Structure 1
């Protein structure tokens, strides 16, 4: 069975995602679609609008066959680490191809960019750091440097458009992992990544859809008909992210822990006083973010730092996981076709695939052995993700509907 991999967040699943799914299957002649999806915390450091099971259910009813959770440290990270974790996850599952959307729509062009980045990684990192210290944004800095290095003068916008950036990192990650996965790209259509207006043919960005929901506007023409009831039910029961609760929890964590946060991932040395000052003067999440923003710290970097602070993500643990890769994968949802695919690739998987956590300790012991560093690292990954779920349930409008131990029994199938 040929399988195509999709790297996703589905926050929420919309018509653009449906287009991507259908084009991916068509362009790769795949029989099965496998989505690696961020869990409760996303690539830009924000909590998801809906919990990971609700978003997985949306994907399933829309036609995705397998939904796997991208482990937390990678899901809430910058494009290079996010991409590497997603590619490692797809490779572990045995997919044949990876299809992603891009503004370019030209795989050869993006591959040249990825090769340029791979072959000049050290010098690009050094020059990017210098430009960031001067207040240049990360995409613009990266674009300027790579354009100058390009022998055929690739346009700088290729390196600065958001889906191109991720696509280039996917291609670089495939090369880093020495993967045989075949990459394919399709042109992104409709509204841009950050646009808040509806695009053509009922395709809007997830950002625009979330904004409409905040403003109590209808999104019925922007989501597939099979997905809408799931969204409406989640809203009706209060199973949606509440920004004010997130803000309050962040303030509590800053007041409690800012002076002892130097060992946390992405928390800058010497930022303790600034954190406290921003927290004491902020009356909303937006004010907190604005109070922390600087030439050296972009909004996205601050959001990831705050998520790390709230979740207590230890720097050494995150770096160890990045070095060793995911220690197991969590199956969120699967169709009957997806189950057949997973069964057919069972012997090829190098790390455990967990349907729910009811037997995870026994599975990890059997796979790694009890007295091994890999087993201890897998437990640390597990503990971090369990903490992420418990904290996320406190961020729902109606926190009483969020089961804090749902990881141990939930597994969606059709």
Structure 2
């Protein structure tokens, strides 16, 4: 059986995600789709809207055959780290291709970008260094350096676009690890990744769907933009009295940790650099709600996303020392599968390049321990029971659900 791999967050899964899964299978000719999905904390330093188990159910209903969890250390990393962790897992799972959505939708443009940077690596790194010294954030510095190399507009990808950026890093990571997988890209449809509002007649962004709920406390306006299973699971989450994940509900816990531990302890937390621990501490002392706190910390050098990653690590206690023990994925954590996915795993079980973990208690590993710990922290904010990683088995979808949007 041939599998194609995709990298997802599904925060929450919407119609555009269904389209991506459909087109990935169609474009590659694969028999099934394997997804590597972030756990309960995400790449932009945010708690997930709903937990990884609910999002796995969404994925299986939408046509995904296997869902593996991207470990916390990669799921909350900046783009190169996130991409390398995901690509290594898809490679270990035996995927023959991987497919990513992009604004440009042209694989040759990404190949051109890789060649451009490879041929001018010293110049590129020098320009990045100068841009950081000038006060730009690291992502902005990368893009400025890239634009300097690409002044002639020679058909390379536009790396100012969020999906293009991730696509570039997927291809860069695949090249770095010597992956045998062939890349495929699908042009992204509908609303921009960061679009914060919903508009009728288009595929909405996950950001717009979340903001619609948080501004109204109602899911009604999201109905046209999500598949039936997503809608049902979100309604059930609400009916069960659970809180949807956002920083506002986690901020009291975060503030307690910051004020209790103080700036000196914060210096050991991953991504805390250049004295920002003092600014974070002062802001936490002054502000009792999240948005004013963030406005007090944000600057030209420190983007909202970069700060949120720091805060996620403070909340979960993820230190530089812990990160040093998790430099590469060491297992395939199974969250769910269809009948088709189970057949694939049975066929490939002897050739998988990492141990397959279906029970959390079956493996002693620092990265898995971190995932379990992060899930328990997430449970405190949302109202879920703790220790679900031990009590819940991988979800098995016993029928093939419709791949249609509704």
TM-score of the aligned structures, taking structure 2 as reference length:
0.91
Which of the numbers 247, 254, 257 marks the counterpart of 2:251?
247
Q: Deviations over 1:17-65 (max 9, x none)?
A: 0010101010000111000000011000111010000001111111110
2:401 alignment counterpart: none
Q: CA RMSD in A?
A: 1.9
Deviation of 1:117 (Å): 3.4
Q: Deviations over 1:48-98 (max 9, x none)?
A: 010000001111111110010000000001000000000001001000111
What secondary structure is seen at the aligned counterpart in 1 of 2:36?
A: strand
Q: Structure 1 residues 312 and 125, CA, compared in 2 at 3 Å: closer, same or farther?
A: farther
1:391 paired with 2:377, answer yes
Larger RCO: Structure 1 or Structure 2 (Cα < 8 Å, ≥ 6 residues apart)? 2
What is the correspondence of 1:15-414 to structure 2 with a 5 Å cutoff?
15-121=15-121, 123-150=123-150, 153-154=153-154, 158-198=158-198, 201-214=201-214, 215=216, 216=218, 217-239=220-242, 240-257=244-261, 258-322=263-327, 325-361=328-364, 379-396=365-382, 399=383, 402-410=384-392, 411-414=394-397
Conserved in 2, the CA contact under 8 Å of 1:202 and 1:221?
Answer: no
Deviation of 1:120 (Å): 4.4
Q: Structure 1 residues 51 and 37, CA, compared in 2 at 3 Å: closer, same or farther?
A: same
Q: Structure 1 residues 171 and 136, CA, compared in 2 at 3 Å: closer, same or farther?
A: same
Q: Deviations over 1:185-218 (max 9, x none)?
A: 0111100011123357441000000011112352
Deviation of 1:126 (Å): 3.9
Separation in 2, partners of 1:245, 1:112:
44
What secondary structure is seen at the aligned counterpart in 2 of 1:241?
A: coil
What secondary structure is seen at the aligned counterpart in 2 of 1:183?
A: strand
* Structure 1 alignment gaps of length 5 or more: 362-378
What secondary structure is seen at the aligned counterpart in 2 of 1:226?
A: helix
When structure 1 is superposed on structure 2, of 337-346 and 117-126 the one drifting more is 117-126
1:369 alignment counterpart: none
Separation in 2, partners of 1:41, 1:122:
35
Conserved in 1, the CA contact under 8 Å of 2:47 and 2:378?
Answer: yes
Separation in 2, partners of 1:129, 1:253:
33
* Structure 2 alignment gaps of length 5 or more: 398-406
What secondary structure is seen at the aligned counterpart in 2 of 1:105?
A: coil
Conserved in 2, the CA contact under 8 Å of 1:40 and 1:51?
Answer: yes
